[in-house]
Amino acid sequence: MQIIFISGLSGSGKSIALKVLEDAGYYCVDNLPVRLLPETASYFERHGYARAAVSIDARSGDGLELLPAQIAALRARGVDARLLFLEANTETLVQRFSETRRRHPLARGELTLPECIERERELLADIADGAHRIDTSELSPNTLRSWVKDFIHIDRSRLTLLFQSFGFKHGIPLDADLVFDVRCLPNPHYDPRLRPLTGKDPEVIAFLESIPNVARMLADIRLFVSNWLPCFIQDNRSYLTVALGCTGGQHRSVYMVERLAAHFRPEYQVLVRHRELS
């Protein structure tokens, strides 16, 4: 049996993720109290639900600190239990709540909306550790749907190495474990012929591969990741997100991500995300 747990900050897209799983044939439960999880998992087993999805977040009441141990217990019983954690920066969440005019689930007393968001972030911090995290701050709903579908097909028995490109002018991804800054490399943006292209296009690739420092930096990052991956695996990590950023997230970071993914793909389970191309 497979159970996918969806958690994260209010307004980060959990409803969208749960809908994707429902459309994919998962039996879905929203806002389950954590203390009811063992009984709910047993119910799934008794009634033959091979795939289920459960949303657990700050609305679920007390007992959130029990979730990691309960997921570990399910895995010990042979259940393919996975945890997907969605987050976004405070500014984005404030804007989303303002647009929808929804009330934050922790809104009470004199707390402002940003204070509610930060309080929720603190409450869920332990859950985020060890989860497959997605920062939805700069994502469209369609891109989030696509990334959730990728998550469904991951082989959890192997470490997933996720390479993500981004633009610093849009902020560093919250879900990044390692961040590399490639802004010191020559920028194709300043060539009018290359500006509308991306790091996937042959012209941009040829431009970057003609610069010795690009190859040097690529080799250094590749070596760093290779040297430290065994330590992350020994730490029982299921996911490692390596983010590479340039100014706009269109050229240099995209090229580097594609090259790194091609290098590690024969040996590891690799996912690629280009945040600013989504």
Tens of pLDDT along the chain (278 residues) come to 999 999 999 999 999 999 999 999 999 999 999 999 999 999 999 999 999 999 998 877 678 888 999 999 999 999 999 999 999 999 999 999 998 888 898 888 788 999 999 999 998 988 888 799 999 999 999 999 999 999 998 887 788 999 999 999 999 999 999 999 999 999 999 999 999 999 999 999 999 999 999 999 999 999 999 999 999 888 878 889 999 999 999 999 999 999 999 999 999 999 999 999 98
| pLDDT value of position 1 | 92
pLDDT of residue 61: 67
Measured between alpha carbons, how far is 196 from 194 in angstroms, rounded to an integer?
A: 6
* 85: Cβ contacts below 8 Å, ≥ 6 apart: 7, 8, 124, 127, 128, 131, 132, 133, 134
DSSP letters spanning 124-190? THHHHTTSEEEE-TT--HHHHHHHHHHHHT--TTS-EEEEEEEEGGG---TT-SEEEE-TTSPPGGG
The one-letter code for the residue type at 144 is L
